[in-house]
Structure 1
Amino acid sequence: MKNIIGKSWRDSASLIVLTKRNSEVLSRAEDRGNVNYDILLQTRTSKGTFANSVVFPGGVTESVDGSSRWWDLFRSFGYSNKDFEVFHRPNTITSEIFKNNPIQRHLQLRITAIRETFEELGLLICSRDRKESRDDNLYANVIEGVDLKHWQNRVSKNPEDLITLCEEHQCYPDIWSLYYWSNWLTPITLPKRFDTAFFIAAIKNKPEYLRSSSEVVEVEWLPPQEVLNSERKLQPPQVYELLRLSHVKDIEELITFACERSGHGTHLSYPFVVKAKDGVLFALPGDDLYPSSVDYNDNTTKYIDQTILELRESSKSVHRIESKKNSRCLVIQNYKPEHHIEMENKAYKGFTTA
């Protein structure tokens, strides 16, 4: 049994936003992995959490993100309790972040992802369509024409003001166009820890204008491989998800897959730290070195008197990040995820991490 007693982390949500790239850019970019989409990325400031890192928009969940006022707002657009059941299928994988009332938690964390994306970048993923008017379009809706400076400041100071914004602009968070993608928990070795639900959404067009907050120094739309091949500073979850995304080249195929797999849930990705003779590796679930029982608050580091390569060669199932001198690679060998993208058996090198 996994131990969560006295947890030392905060729940949070991140949003991976995709949009299709134009044909002119596609034709002249050979180093972009041949994908036809870009991902919305932001670079954090030198102060605060994940300093100088390139991350997806997101942040800590607030109790108001699960307020009954949201249920009232959704009902005013024709939604009923049954419409929320698509978020979680019975008898499926349920990680700890969703254990208590999974449907309510899905609603809350989706709103967290949308609220934080708006606070940080001014992208308001909301809809004005009544339930009976919605089609089967898998793309998320975006509301423009909002006074970004005014509302970003208000929502940043008081998260409940996102409800007020929606009421005044007659819209609601487009939570049905967010698809549950993964769940990562920060290792015990780091001073600040987050249990983060990652969602994915696609929008038809890049907004003409985004307004970043004081926590963000740069906003970019880039394909996954270009980010990985650059010198940008990345955290392990971003590295992993960018590599995973790069295996699907077409945005329509990717978002269709994301929608289908969303209700299945995912196992928690918790990097279990193992020290080797010449570096450190972070074992992930499914790896031979991953323990059968994990205490997420135990700061004892396992040491094995072998090199990283020796440990790799002696393992049958490998699902780990290997770290040497600020250079890391994700190694996959005989690992097949449940209800998710299957990556090749290889060592993914060439990216810079924190």
Structure 2
Amino acid sequence: MKSVVQRGWRNASSLIVLNKRYGDLVRASVNYDVLLQTRPSTGAFPNSVVFPGGVAEPADDSDHWLKLFKSFGYTDDDFATFHGVGTPTTLFQPNPILRHIALRITAIRETFEEVGLLICSKDHKSNRNSLYADIIPDVDVKFWQKQISDNPERLLNLCKEYNCYPDIWALYYWSHWLTPCHFNRRFDTVFFVTTLNNKPDNLESSKEVTKVQWESPNGILKKNIQLELELHPPQAYELLRLAHIADIDELTEFGKKRNKHNIDVIYPIVLRAKDGIVLLYPGDDLYPSSLDYYNDAINFKDKTVLELREKSTVVHRLEKLYEEKKSMLILKNYKQNNHINMGDKLLEFYYNEANKV
């Protein structure tokens, strides 16, 4: 997959933050909420609801982070737990372990910059016995948001001032998405999951965010289908996947256990049919056996979207008819690799950007 690097995807991290829900469990169907933010009308993913995150910065790779972690009792053996044999390495070269560390720091830094949530710990390694993430609540958020936004290296200054470190061991490697090459902005993005035991108060959003909200996965999907908000395919897909584990403790344990396992990198391939477009995901019957990252579109102009689906045994795709506002995420006979198997699913959701493919 060397073509990915040549094609100019930007390395990025996204963080799915889950918070334990203590009431209204029947309506939510899960005992946790997801942290989401609404993007402004300009910039990446305009007007859409996304998880916190952003592009990696050189400061996230600094050797000073290793020194900081070691001052709290962490060793090379602890760093090695991030990378397992057989895990994909397109985003994790030249040193997979260091890249795993850096991308977790990216996710934590961007989450703080965007919503003011500082996922850091003050505890020595010997005192850590929880799979939940620690947060630092008593930070001058506005001051440090500006400082770090101006210079990402200043996250290290913040950690030294508050005697803490990014809680990277509480971030679990969840998924890996590549933006289709026909988009102007392309990202090679790792999604991490982290869980909180108590909802933080008074989150401070930055100018990159117009709204911050906590909601259950099904609650967000419902608002999307009612056209109250827009979701991009990775967010809709991950919300659907999350909803299959109702208990946050079980989900956290699952994230910890599969943290080092191989993950199928999801690189959507565009297929143009007679009456719409399809984004093919790995494992689908129509997904190509070899990939061309410069010109990956497939044409089936003589077939309708439904005809293509009915002739496929394994379906792992997003369908969008030209005359419809909504898209359909469809899974049939598809088995996830070392992840939650969602079974046969058909999710209708609103994705306006699909009209521009």
The TM-score, its normalising length taken from structure 2, stands at: 0.94
1:138 equivalent in alignment to 2:145: no
> How far did residue 246 of structure 1 move?
0.9
Q: Which amino acid aligns with 1:345?
A: D
1:126 equivalent in alignment to 2:120: yes
> How far did residue 346 of structure 1 move?
2.7
Q: Which amino acid aligns with 1:4?
A: V
1:301-316 aligned at under 5 Å gives the runs 301-316=298-313
Q: Which amino acid aligns with 1:98?
A: F
1:188 aligned residue = 181
> How far did residue 76 of structure 1 move?
0.9
Deviations 1:256-276 (A, max 9, x none): 111111111312100000001
Instruction: Check whether the contact 1:228–1:351 (CA below 8 A) recurs between aligned residues.
Output: no
* Equivalent-residue separation in structure 2 for 1:146 and 1:265 (angstroms): 37
1:178 aligned residue = 171
Instruction: Check whether the contact 1:123–1:210 (CA below 8 A) recurs between aligned residues.
Output: yes
Equivalent of 2:195 in 171, 195, 202: 202
1:38 aligned residue = 33
Aligned residue for 2:77, secondary structure, equals helix
Instruction: Check whether the contact 1:95–1:268 (CA below 8 A) recurs between aligned residues.
Output: no
Aligned residue for 1:216, secondary structure, equals coil
Equivalent of 1:104 in 91, 95, 98: 98
From the superposition, tell whether residues 227 and 353 of structure 1 become closer, same or farther in structure 2 (CA, over 3 Å).
farther
* Equivalent-residue separation in structure 2 for 1:305 and 1:103 (angstroms): 47
* Count of aligned positions: 347
Q: Which amino acid aligns with 1:241?
A: E
1:65 equivalent in alignment to 2:64: no
* Equivalent-residue separation in structure 2 for 1:42 and 1:300 (angstroms): 31
Aligned residue for 2:7, secondary structure, equals coil
> How far did residue 188 of structure 1 move?
1.2
* Equivalent-residue separation in structure 2 for 1:346 and 1:148 (angstroms): 41
> How far did residue 304 of structure 1 move?
4.3
Q: Which amino acid aligns with 2:148?
A: V
* Equivalent-residue separation in structure 2 for 1:146 and 1:284 (angstroms): 42
Aligned residue for 2:214, secondary structure, equals strand
> How far did residue 2 of structure 1 move?
6.3
Instruction: Check whether the contact 1:42–1:219 (CA below 8 A) recurs between aligned residues.
Output: yes
1:21 equivalent in alignment to 2:21: yes
Instruction: Check whether the contact 2:326–2:350 (CA below 8 A) recurs between aligned residues.
Output: yes
* Equivalent-residue separation in structure 2 for 1:236 and 1:304 (angstroms): 23
* Equivalent-residue separation in structure 2 for 1:88 and 1:228 (angstroms): 32
* Equivalent-residue separation in structure 2 for 1:5 and 1:208 (angstroms): 40
* Equivalent-residue separation in structure 2 for 1:221 and 1:66 (angstroms): 31
Instruction: Check whether the contact 2:334–2:343 (CA below 8 A) recurs between aligned residues.
Output: no
Structure 1, unmatched stretches of 5+, are none
1:6 aligned residue = 6
1:318 equivalent in alignment to 2:334: no
> How far did residue 255 of structure 1 move?
1.0
Between the two proteins, what is the percent identity of the paired residues?
52
Instruction: Check whether the contact 2:116–2:145 (CA below 8 A) recurs between aligned residues.
Output: yes
* Equivalent-residue separation in structure 2 for 1:220 and 1:316 (angstroms): 39
Instruction: Check whether the contact 2:269–2:297 (CA below 8 A) recurs between aligned residues.
Output: no
> How far did residue 95 of structure 1 move?
4.1
Instruction: Check whether the contact 1:275–1:281 (CA below 8 A) recurs between aligned residues.
Output: yes
* Equivalent-residue separation in structure 1 for 2:299 and 2:290 (angstroms): 14
1:320-339 aligned at under 5 Å gives the runs 320-324=317-321, 325-339=324-338
1:234 aligned residue = 231
Instruction: Check whether the contact 2:39–2:47 (CA below 8 A) recurs between aligned residues.
Output: yes
1:163-312 aligned at under 5 Å gives the runs 163-230=156-223, 231=227, 232-298=229-295, 300-312=297-309
* Equivalent-residue separation in structure 1 for 2:251 and 2:176 (angstroms): 18
Deviations 1:14-54 (A, max 9, x none): 0000011122x325x2xx3x111100000000111100000
Instruction: Check whether the contact 2:325–2:350 (CA below 8 A) recurs between aligned residues.
Output: no
Q: Which amino acid aligns with 1:3?
A: S
Aligned residue for 1:220, secondary structure, equals strand
